[in-house]
Structure 1
Amino acid sequence: MISITGARTMGALILAGVLAAAVPGQAGSPSLADRVIEHKLANGMTVLMVERHQAPIVSVNMTFGVGGVNEQVGQTGLAHLYEHMAFKGTRKVGTRDYEREQAVLDDLAMVGTELDRREREEAARAQAEGKTPALSETVQQLQRRFKELQEKAGEYVVGNEMALLYQRHGGVGLNASTGKDITRYVISLPANRLPLWAALESDRMAHPVLREFYKERGVVMEERRLRTDDSPNGLLYETFTSTAFQAHQYGVPTIGWGSDILSLTPAATEAFFKTYYGPNNATVAIVGDINPKEVIALIEQTFGKIPAAPPIPSLVTEEPPQRGERRVEIEFDAEPALAIGYHKPTIGHPDDFVFDVIDEVLTEGVTSRLYSTLVRDKRLAASVLSDTNYPGVRAPNLFVIAATPLAPHSVTEVETAIYEELDRLKTEPISAKEFERVLNGLDADLVRSLRSNSGLASQLAFYQTVAGTWRYVLSARDRIAAVTPADVQRVAAQYLTKPNRTVGVLVKKAQDKKMAAVGEVTR
């Protein structure tokens, strides 16, 4: 049997060989650590570059250190809504006549905000009086004026112009995403079109225009209905997460609460943008067929002109220690499902690396412990997975295990089997063979994530933003390799406990409740 030390040495040699090939196919090239060129603008923006000349293309990842954790009570969903609005264009892109359009948008924002306020007040008054809401003449007038302004504003809109510009110049993969911790904007395009990217994105950072605001707010609300309200898994995880985090903003859905979404205003969205989307809160990773000196000059000429935003407000609220198991049931007309979460430290903490090992041991691959037990051998579950940093990494988070029972087995059977495997982690040292599999799996994951230009750009920008340095992607592997069987036992015994546990269960609505409801209607 190979020793643990031997397994680590072998894995490290394999990984080192791959990471050294920062330019695929060129043996003996400098290591990735030597190939990343870092440049910081005077306004605080960080630029990371890696040359890869195999094809005349470049991938760009712009990551802002803003997400759901930065929102305030009553304004949840702002980060996600702004991500949508960012594609609506600028003073130059997406409009036929910005000066005339802006006057209409100002009127629309004023009328829309007043209409929202009046509608909420009248709905609340009707509910308090036990009456059916009836629109007052004032609200009806506001609605008519709102519709007129919406139509007028639409006359100036050039729909999807930014995306079409990228498309006409060979851009692919244009996308964006918002999470708890970060917001990302990505694109891959021909290397000689990088100046187009710099012009468009610096303009978007400096002069975004919140056109079609109310239309897009409605789109987000419909997205919430589809992905959460009408989705069994979406509702399970939203309820489970808000149960696990009762103080910290991680407990609030990134898409926002429905009532908050419907009350978001252009003014609040613009204020949020000015606070969090300045160059001093942005990291840009550029990987591909580039000349770093030319790229730096291009970035300085475009983004360098944008003044830094005020210092980013610090996150204050901390989740207090959990002092007892929390359980929540969600009724839905769907098959049962289970989510179990344990509070754990955040990125960079020594015990966080131990959870990377635990994650691999339990659910990564067909030979992992939980997959073997629940899915392959006993056939208790149709699926099982785990997540070692849910729902974010900038603050203490959860280690989550999720499973779907396989009929006729119950959630209780699956949950019991999971706890039995967790107890094994506390009492039985992980074998050298398992450690070898874990490290090989983690090395393979890392290699895959760095192989493509877009993957490498994503990793660099992500860790620069959440860990403070892109070098974390390299140092983490060595920290994981230093984990011992004793570390796993200690961490499992310390964190994977009942008082530290939150359990969410998706249960089918009882048939007798359905029959009773049918009977009442029939009678």
Structure 2
Amino acid sequence: MYRFFITGLFVFLFIGPEIVFAQTLADKVQEYKLDNGATVLLVERHTSPTVAAYISFRVGGANETSQERGVAHLLEHMLFKGTKTLGTKNYAAEKKLLQKIKNTGQRIDALKFRTETDSEQLQQLQEELTALQAEHRKLVVKNEFSRIYGENGGVGYNAFTGKDSTTYLINLPANKLELWAAIESDRLQNAVFREFYTERDVVHEERRRSYESSPRGMMYETLLAAAYEVHPYRNPIIGWNSDIETLDPDQIREFFDKYYTPVNMVITLVGDFQSETTLQMIERYFGRLKPGVPVPPVVDREPEQKGERRVAINFDAEQQLMIAYHKPTMPQREDYVFDLLMQVLSEGRTSRLYRSLVVDKQLVTDVNVFGAPGSRYDNLMVLSLTPRNGRSPKEVEAAVYTELERLKSEPLSSRDLDIARKQIMTSILRGLRGNSGLARMLSSYQTLGDWRYLVDYEDHLSSITPKDIMDVAKRYLQADNRTVVTLMREGQS
């Protein structure tokens, strides 16, 4: 499977009543830079009276230090809690309560991690915090952002935090674009981190559901921690349990004030608007924000892996297998090769692994190959497989390696490569028919470096030869470069 959002495209479709035509992104994307450093990407699409609005920041889980793992994800939760004017009945009164809640919560955190803790004092403080939170709830207007957007036709109001970036998005009627600008600029200027300790508990529960109680989540987390020894890609975006327990409101505020600022921000709008007047509106609302400081690059570099790493997990669930190989990231030429290689291996019922492992040998019920966990720094090709009942991970693993060896010794035909290219481009085009798909693509690649990476993508993909596939397979698909994680019930083999 090629990269999560897409691996490139130089055209997108405009569909009118009787005409379909393609036009280059280079001609249609208008890029601007505000005086405070914010990047703005505008694409006019007058096919429906709607706009997809994305705001992305070049900061994610990989940019956290060991003292603040999980901050970006928890901050995503907190930024839905409102501002000084939205989400409150009386901010002046609320502000005093929030300070008391923070003081009490910080005292609890300081006590609960001591080797010798006064349990009675801790219990008293927890009761005090509960009472303060109950009093605070009387001043809170829940889900105010969602209510306003919903009443004005907004849909898909959401956010996601990744290893490399964080994004906030909404799709709304074109005549409500100024409402979006007012709300989002207010959120960046006047965010209030309400219900911090309650939301921290919510994240704890999210971690339990998504990782500790989920076999696939646990496997993926274990795989990254084993494959990476140094680079922060090894850490879960949500943080480890010990990280979540110690996150502090002041940490959240400091991280937000430092990095969720114009110099790290990409605003992407795709839809029914006039660029000139829209840019003026963006400058009016977002141009007053202070620039902030650029997110520093990750200086940790993962050393070359010198031997296979294996981890076995005992879990009361059906058997699972994951295999990962280190690989280069964009825009290195080998990354384009991996896009095609992964397509050939696992996309569709005619792919090599599906035909061999699912249909012919009936070893697995499903197989998936994807790039992970981020794209700014060198990453992994991950193979995920579910063995059939009665089949062992060992059998499946051996069959996978047989197919990977074929890539090294048998050149793909030109026809197979052409099919893979067409499959990639068709899938991408299908995803870009809506405004949101294009906005997401542009936003993603601009935060990773430059959206213009997409302009030449198809040319790069077309230049890949069967020999390139063989060379990359020989270099990277080696035992010394792989990490293997198996999950099975205790006593299985």
Post-superposition offset of 1:406: 0.8
Is residue 374–residue 381 contact of structure 1 (8 Å, CA) maintained in 2? yes
CA contact 2:50–2:173 (8 Å) conserved in 1? yes
Measure how far apart 1:315 and its partner are.
1.2
Residues 232 and 24 of structure 1: is their aligned pair in 2 closer, same or farther, counting only changes over 3 Å?
A: farther
Match of residue 6 from structure 2: none
Structure 2: distance between partners of 1:143 and 1:400? 44
> Out of 91, 104, 111, which is 1:111 matched to?
104
- Residue 131 of structure 1 is matched in structure 2 by none
Aligned partner of residue 113 in structure 2, secondary structure: helix
Q: Secondary structure at the match of 2:175?
A: helix
> Aligned residue for 2:423?
441
Q: Where in structure 1 are there 5+ consecutive unaligned residues?
A: 1-14, 126-133, 513-523
Tell me the equivalent position of 2:270: 287
Match of 2:4 in 1: none
Provide the rounded CA distance (Å) in 2 between the counterparts of 1:339 and 1:291: 48
TM-score by length of 2: 0.95
Number of the residue aligned with 1:432: 414
State the Cα distance separating 1:23 from its structure 2 match: 5.4
Q: Which runs of 5+ in 2 are unaligned?
A: 1-8
Which residue pairs with 1:62 in the alignment? 55
Name the SS for the 2:153 alignment partner.
coil
Instruction: Indicate the SS of the match to 2:157.
Output: strand
Deviation per residue, 1:335-366 (Å, 9 max, x gap): 11111001111110110000001001100111
Could you tell me how far 1:294 is from its partner in structure 2?
A: 1.1
Q: Which residue of 1 aligns with 2:336?
A: 353
Q: Which residue of 1 aligns with 2:291?
A: 308
* C-alpha distance after superposition, 1:148-196 (max 9, x if no partner): 2212221211000010000000000111111111111111010000000
CA distance in structure 1 between the aligned counterparts of 2:102 and 2:16, rounded to whole angstroms: 51
Of 394, 401, 404, 1:422 maps to 404
Cα pair distance change 1:366/1:214, threshold 3 Å = same
Percent identity between the two aligned chains? 45
> Are the aligned partners of 1:23 and 1:51 in contact in 2 as well (CA < 8 Å)?
no
Distance 1:47 1:379 in 2: 50
The answer to whether the 8 Å contact 1:22/1:32 transfers is no
Structure 1 residues 105 and 508: alpha-carbon distance in aligned structure 2, compared to 1, 3 A threshold: same
The two structures have a TM-score, normalised by structure 1, of: 0.90
Return the letter of the residue paired with 1:105.
L
Bigger proportion of residues as helix: 1
Query: CA separation in 2, counterparts of 1:287 and 1:247?
Result: 39
- Distance, in Å, in 2 between the alignment partners of 1:75 and 1:349 is 31
Partner residue of 1:323 out of 306, 320, 334: 306
Deviation at 1:200, TM superposition (A): 0.3
Give the AA of the match of 1:329: A
- Change beyond 3 A, Cα 1:325–1:29: closer
Within 2, Cα distance between the matches of 1:408 and 1:209? 54
Q: Could you say which residue in structure 2 is the equivalent of 1:4? A: none
Shift of 1:63: 1.1
Give 2:174's match in structure 1, choosing from 164, 188, 191: 191
Alignment of 1:20-59 (within 5 A): 21-22=13-14, 26-27=19-20, 30-59=23-52
Q: Deviation string for 1:393-419 (max 9, x for gaps)? A: 011110111111012111111111110
Out of 501, 509, 519, the position equivalent to 2:482 is 501
Within-5 A mapping of 1:82-481:
82-121=75-114, 124-125=115-116, 135-387=118-370, 389-466=371-448, 468-481=449-462
Secondary structure in 1 matching 2:56 = strand
Displacement after TM superposition at 1:135 (Å) = 4.9
What is the rounded CA distance, in whole Å, between the counterparts of 2:62 and 2:486 in structure 1?
25
> For residue 518 of structure 1, what is the aligned residue in structure 2?
none
- Find the residue that maps to 2:450 and give its secondary structure: coil
RMSD of aligned alpha carbons: 1.5
Structure (1 or 2) with the larger CA radius of gyration: 1
1-side partners of 2:54 and 2:416: how far apart? 35
- Aligned twin of 1:10: none
Using the alignment, how far apart are the partners of 1:23 and 1:469 within structure 2?
27
Compared CA separation, residues 322 and 47, structure 1 to 2 (3 A):
same
Q: Distance in 2 between matches of 1:79 and 1:451?
A: 31
Amino acid at match of 2:358: V
